[in-house]
Structure 1
Amino acid sequence: MERKTLNELLKWKEKKNRKPLLLTGVRQCGKTYIIKEFGKKEFEDTAYFNFDGNTGLQSVFDFDFDVGRIVDELANVVYGDKIVPGRTLVVFDEIQDCPRAIQSLKYFCENMPELHVIAAGSLLGVALRKEGISFPVGKVDRVEMYPMSFEEFVIADGGEKYINGIKKMAFEREIPEMYTVPLEKYLKNYYIVGGMPEAVQTWVDTHDYKEVEEVQDRILKDYADDFGKHTISDTTTKVRLIWDAIPSQIARDNNKFIFSHVKQGARAKDLEDALEWIVNAGIAYKLNLVSTPELPLAGMADNTYFKVYMSDVGLLRRKSNVNYRTVLEGDASYIHFKGALTENYIMTQLKCMGVESYFWRTKADAEIDFITDYEGILLPIEVKSADNTKAKSLHLFCNRYHPRMAIKTSLKNVGDNMDGDTHIWSLPLYAIYKLKEYVIHEMGW
């Protein structure tokens, strides 16, 4: 299946001042697969080393950080063949299980820069926060990998012609029905299947929702099992409480994450470490509040007031026990959670695009679902799950802060209008992957 991460790896390979690459991402998002595909296409050999439970491999790094010795021992004893710079891709998988291998990346950068080294890890974000692990700051390049985006999902499921067709259209042109109808169906299927590669592959092979759900159940169980493997018992209990509370927290009217709703009487200081564990593992995302949207937004963010979303919309749907028929056919009692699912979808797509986002809310309950300062532009994004695009909060935001442009995303077709000084674009949910293109078009870059 086509993954945009492959393009990032190709750029890394050709960088003039290339460093060892650290590829991170949530478990089972396809890191190992894409690295091996990259090795097959771009190198004569791939020397693959997996540290998971492999104490013998880990011992190679115990003596010192002489990268010449390390490479010789890996080649002669473990790999069984020569490792040649320029011809061989060296892969250290599940590197979080070997702290000294993480430290060694500094010495590969300084003493053997001609060798292509990729290190990957699913729980690396968690491991790096443990005491005693020294991270090679400034000595590695980094790429974050996510579950498959909606665009990647459609292409994998045979809809590349729709993706390419929309890309060629003028920004102001309404999307014809020959595109909107199939893309809305793809969107519903993406809400059901999500972007975990194994679930997507199962869907592409079978188009059987039940088989997809078996895969999703297994992934959810694997995540839960990780809690016990990689945390102490007291923390495990707290992590499970947070994990199980995410769907209900997302579905609340005021979906600020409230620790006391996780466990009665619980305080933030009792559970915030458990939440950070889940976020560092890439399983969930935090969206912080910005009350005063001044640039840069990161400097205005309130880290104590936030929403929490899951890293995959399909897993959220399954974990929340929303039947796939409900997504396909709709139901009067599904309207509220449909909005929450749609917000989670937009959150995941912004992550895939590398767009850092926040949300805005006033004490009078006006709210913008997402705001970003992508490329230094203040951009509010209003999200609607259907084609009702009345947005009082967006009107208030635009009249108060005068952003040059804004986005309303829903099932409504492409369109635009002015609200005071702000050019508001209507962008369908299934075309949100064009967000950056609209910014570039608006700014004339």
Structure 2
Amino acid sequence: MDLLKRKIDQDLADWKKNPDRLPLIVKGARQIGKTESIRSFGRTHYKNIIEINFALQKQYKGIFDNGFEVDTIVKNISLINPNLEFVPGETLFFFDEIQDCINCATSLKAFRLDGRFDVICSGSMMGINYNEIESNSVGFKEDYEMYSMDFEEFLWAKGYCGEQIEDLYQHMLQIKPLSELEQTVFSDIFREYMVIGGMPAIVNTFVKNNHYGGTLKMQQQILLDYEEDITKYASGLDKTKILNVYRKIPVFLGRSNKKFCISKVERGARNREYVGVVDWLENAGMINVCYCMELPELPLKGNYDPDNYRIYFRDTGLLIGSLDEEVQEDLRANKNFNTYKGAVYENIVGDMLVKQGYPLYFYKNTKGTVEMDFFVRDADSLIPVEVKANDGATISLNNLISQEKYGDIAYGIKLGNKNIGFNGKFYTFPYFLTFFLKRFLKERKK
């Protein structure tokens, strides 16, 4: 597979420049490109890489059996492979699939205190194993969460350069409409991204072949791999219940209110029987959970109903892969989507917000007269974000902005198949600019 440019590349380079760098744990779902990115970084920045995969090379699990002193670990690695070199200051230890070896996380404190070698760990962080890893080496490691490719990385894969992408942002910042050609070209590419998603192997195949052939099969295989991981790693929880929830996500997204109801996952199911299941899937990097706010006001955290939520796939391509085989064609042609059209757009906007560091919240009042898809915030105010699959009315958005009882809301954002604009109440942006939202809200007033 050709190596795709990723945002983690620069983040790892910045980590290397920091003289006080801590051992790094790169966590995230499977098959999002963690291993390839870390391996490429290691080759570029170090003379030697000691790469150990605890899932594939089980003989290395014993390197911590005699304690966690770095000299002891190095000696034990050398016993297994005497050809490796350990040059202080020029060697990176890359421990992959650390969820299969909890002792590895304990060793990070020793590596940090020793100081001769840099360490990067990676893993799918599934289930209770990650909780064990979290409690080890506190204060002696740094966590980094990696996601599947965002739309900017997809544009890089398609050959667009930083200057072209920055020009898009300047249009957004200056509220300057895009040309018809720009709007058409980037809308078409965004529709490709919606169908393909951000899994690097799938993106690579699509870009190389310049057609969708084989991509649906790859998406479906990743979904099967994730189910296999659930069966393998969900210790302490009922694996059947986790699979039940994971497989039902498309069903609830296809309903008008999209609310996820445990009672409808299986006959007679109760919330108390499913405690921890949704958290497990979220911690594993497989889903995004969007909670209903009790009131549309600040602060966001502590102002939501933990039992009222929607579940989205972390990668929209996997949502597409979970649906009927005809769906890819339908989405490309922009037809036959009905309720699912809104679900796919909401899923991808939620994914783009999470990749910028936003938690997900929505609002729907008890009467159902005011409803909003997402909320973000700037330094001063709460910002409703409306996702419009069709060019319909924006009654809820106008009410939230205009009515005095919603005092924390000063303006809003409407995302749709629209050009850039501002009507004094809310900004209008095309979907494909959503990945710039956090930067825009930070720089807007400047």
Whether TM exceeds 0.5 here: the answer is yes
In structure 1, the residue matched to 2:428 is 426
Q: Once the 2 structures are TM-superposed, how far is the Cα of residue 141 of structure 1 from its aligned partner?
A: 0.9
Q: Once the 2 structures are TM-superposed, how far is the Cα of residue 128 of structure 1 from its aligned partner?
A: 2.1
Matches within 5 A, 1:11-410: 11-75=14-78, 77-78=80-81, 80-109=83-112, 111-124=113-126, 126-129=128-131, 134-160=135-161, 162-169=164-171, 171-231=174-234, 235-321=238-324, 322-331=326-335, 333-365=336-368, 366-373=370-377, 377-386=381-390, 388=391, 390-398=393-401, 399=403, 400-410=406-416
Distance 1:156 1:375, change over 3 A: farther
Distance 1:173 1:240, change over 3 A: same
Q: 1:416 aligns with which of 419, 422, 425?
A: 422
Distance 1:233 1:15, change over 3 A: closer
Q: Is the 8 A contact 2:127 2:235 kept in 1?
A: no
Residues 171-198 of structure 1, C-alpha deviations (whole Å, 9 max, x = no match) = 2100111211111111111111111111
Q: Is the 8 A contact 2:55 2:97 kept in 1?
A: yes
- Worse overlay, 223-232 or 149-158: 223-232
Q: Is the 8 A contact 1:162 1:183 kept in 2?
A: no
Distance 1:67 1:123, change over 3 A: same
Question: Secondary structure of 1:175's partner?
Answer: coil
Q: Once the 2 structures are TM-superposed, how far is the Cα of residue 158 of structure 1 from its aligned partner?
A: 2.6
Q: Once the 2 structures are TM-superposed, how far is the Cα of residue 234 of structure 1 from its aligned partner?
A: 7.5
Distance (Å, rounded) in 2 between the aligned partners of 1:288 and 1:104 = 37
Question: Secondary structure of 1:380's partner?
Answer: strand
Q: Once the 2 structures are TM-superposed, how far is the Cα of residue 433 of structure 1 from its aligned partner?
A: 1.5
Q: Is the 8 A contact 2:381 2:408 kept in 1?
A: no
**Where does structure 1 lack aligned partners over 5 or more consecutive residues?**
none
Distance 1:442 1:168, change over 3 A: closer
- Worse overlay, 71-80 or 23-32: 71-80
Residues 178-228 of structure 1, C-alpha deviations (whole Å, 9 max, x = no match) = 211111111111111111111101101112323111211211111111122
TM-score for the superposition, normalised by structure 1: 0.92
Q: When the two structures are aligned, how many residues end up with a matched partner?
A: 436
**Where does structure 2 lack aligned partners over 5 or more consecutive residues?**
none
- Worse overlay, 219-228 or 433-442: 433-442
Question: Secondary structure of 2:340's partner?
Answer: helix
Q: Is the 8 A contact 2:298 2:382 kept in 1?
A: yes
Distance 1:403 1:84, change over 3 A: farther
Q: Is the 8 A contact 1:371 1:378 kept in 2?
A: yes
- Worse overlay, 257-266 or 369-378: 369-378
Q: 1:176 corresponds to which letter in structure 2? A: S
Distance (Å, rounded) in 2 between the aligned partners of 1:12 and 1:56 = 30
Distance (Å, rounded) in 2 between the aligned partners of 1:112 and 1:125 = 30
Residues 82-111 of structure 1, C-alpha deviations (whole Å, 9 max, x = no match) = 2223211111100111111111112222x2
Residues 379-415 of structure 1, C-alpha deviations (whole Å, 9 max, x = no match) = 22111124x1632111222232342442111111000
Distance (Å, rounded) in 1 between the aligned partners of 2:300 and 2:237 = 35
